[in-house]
Amino acid sequence: MVTLDTLVAEDGLSFLRGMLEGRHPRAPYSETMDINLVAVEPGRVVFEGKPSAPFLNPVGTIQGGWASTILDGAMAYCVHSTLKAGENYTTLEMKISFVRPVFPATGLVRCEGKVIHRGNRTATSEGVLLDEQGKLLAHGSETCMIFPAATK
């Protein structure tokens, strides 16, 4: 994990590219949940993830929290890509719609997040979660609050 000082020392796009290049570590949750950042550009990110048996719910499908987590990551990181050095952000709200069940057999999934609006204090984004054939599994929207980072 990086310190807040390291996080806000560079703009968001540079920081996220640093994660892809290995200059910065990935977020701890992503290793546990087998979710990986695979592409970053201004206002857009892509994650890939592998749903697996530890995330099954009692009815035999992947718990909705796993799909929500990958969507939250994509919808938040695309906002992160727009941050200036010294800015920070947090999720204010998100809405997720589940379209199809996810199983371990679903295989590798792809999640794309795109910024819809970036203002001075808030940003909105949307995300889609797709299976390997491009079928929609879930989609969502998110609002993030942007604020000056307090490093001390």
What are 26-50's pLDDT values in tens digits?
Answer: 999 999 999 999 999 999 999 999 9
Whether the pLDDT of residue 138 is over 70: the answer is: yes
pLDDT at 151: 58
Residue at token pair 């909105």: 124
Whether 133 has a pLDDT exceeding 70, the answer reads yes
Nearest alpha carbon to residue 21 among 32, 5, 34, 10: 10
Predicted confidence band of residue 152 (pLDDT cuts 50, 70, 90): low
Q: How far is CA 57 from CA 66, 106, 117, 152, in A?
A: 10, 15, 35, 41
Residue percentage of the chain with pLDDT more than 90: 91
d(CA 74, CA 3): 21
Q: Which amino acid is at 35?
A: I
pLDDT in the model for residue 6: 84
Model confidence pLDDT, tens digit, residues 71-113:
999 999 999 999 999 999 999 999 999 999 999 999 999 999 9
Secondary-structure class of domain 4-148 per CATH: alpha beta
| Sequential DSSP letters for 22-75 | TSSPPPHHHHHHTEEEEEEETTEEEEEE---GGGB-TTSSB-HHHHHHHHHHHH
Task: Give CA–CA dist 19/95, Å, rounded.
Answer: 27
Q: What is the pLDDT of residue 150?
A: 79
pLDDT tens per residue across span 105-130: 999 999 999 999 999 999 999 999 99
Longest dimension (CA), the chain: 47
